Amino acid sequence: MADHNKTLGEFIIENQKDFAYSSGELSRLINSIRLAAKVVNHEVNKAGLVDILGAFGDKNIQGEEQQKLDVFANEAFIKTLTNREIVCGIASEENDGFITISGREKNNQNKYVVLIDPLDGSSNIDVNVSVGTIFSIYRRVTPAGTPVTLEDFLQPGVNQVAAGYIIYGTSTMIVYTTGHGVNGFTLNPAIGTYYLSHPNMCIPEDGHIYSVNEGNYIHFPQGVKDYIKYCQMEEDDRPYTSRYIGSLVSDIHRNILKGGIYFYPKSSKASKGKLRLLYECNPMAFIVEQAGGKASDGFNRIMEIQPKELHERVPFFCGSKNMVEKAEEFMKNAQ
């Protein structure tokens, strides 16, 4: 049962013993993300009232047109994490390379690096559809006191110490895991405090929702086409319901609560898929697995993939365990 009197801050303090390295830094880091999320939420909620809608006029490293809120959210998270001197490095989906944070001390002793998608689903901003933030936290692998290197960021998802997302929708929520289950906190905008609203979130093993951009059907591999047809067949508990928002955070959040599968496969238009392994797939995979679900690239566990580059893309299948396994079955049979 939800404890609507327990705040996110209280929850973090109470559960600090679960962190692998209980020095307080990870708690402070999640608190910093909470603060930056409030700033971004405030700006998102003013969209349409102030000049924050529309394109910024520049493109990010992926060649995608940046929206004004993309830029604002990116700067807000980087500024908050940098000013608090908790992390030694940050990598953002919006930046070409990673950011080294040296701190005021001569030798930076901070242990954690953060990878972040500051505003997922930004193409939905102008039409007032839910958007979100996705974050992933790793313990650095290079020695403390030295500048971070690319090696600190190119870690497989199994090395994550925490991951989460913030959804800016009808209500604003932070959902995160430190490897001990998944918990969701809803913002009370009247007092600016997050309260535990969704404790021990669990995704059903089966679901009735499939989420995919069917407009790309003609470009999908045969295994994906076969699975979509399976979802649409009138047999047993099918056809499934098709629900696709186009905002990864929103689609995954709904499917965790209701049961379902989200997939963004490779295609003839995107040979490696579209979603980024480090900023989107790994953190979402960690969350979904901790909620009892499954995440793969159609054949292999997402979190066991060894990243080769900062902005690497992969196919992504994520959600209710039995649905993902059925999709994998179709992918394998079509080889």
Q: Is 46 one of the annotated binding-site residues?
A: no
Q: How far apart are the C-alpha atoms of 105 and 12, rounded to whole Å?
A: 27
| DSSP-assigned letters across all residues of 109-166 | ---EEEEEEEEETGGGGGGT--EEEEEEEEE-SSPTTS---HHHH---GGGEEEEEEE
Q: Is 107 one of the annotated binding-site residues?
A: no
Q: Is 93 one of the annotated binding-site residues?
A: yes
Buried b (16+ CB within 10 A) or exposed e, 36-60: bbbbbbebbeebeeeebbeeeeeeb
Length of the chain: 335
The answer to whether 32 and 219 have CB atoms below 8 angstroms apart is: no
Q: How far apart are the C-alpha atoms of 79 and 86, rounded to whole Å?
A: 12
Please give the DSSP secondary-structure letter assigned to residue 278: I
Q: Is 119 one of the annotated binding-site residues?
A: yes
Q: Is 51 one of the annotated binding-site residues?
A: no
Q: Is 244 one of the annotated binding-site residues?
A: yes
The answer to whether 252 and 284 have CB atoms below 8 angstroms apart is: yes
Q: Is 121 one of the annotated binding-site residues?
A: yes
Q: Is 274 one of the annotated binding-site residues?
A: yes
Residue 317 has phi, psi (to 5 degrees) of -125, 125
Q: How far apart are the C-alpha atoms of 224 and 247, rounded to whole Å?
A: 20
Q: Is 117 one of the annotated binding-site residues?
A: yes
Partners of 67 in the β-ladder: 55
From the annotation, which residues make up the binding site for substrate?
A: 120-123, 213, 244, 274
From the annotation, which residues make up the binding site for Mg(2+)?
A: 93, 117, 119-120, 280
From the annotation, which residues make up the binding site?
A: 93, 117, 119-123, 213, 244, 274, 280
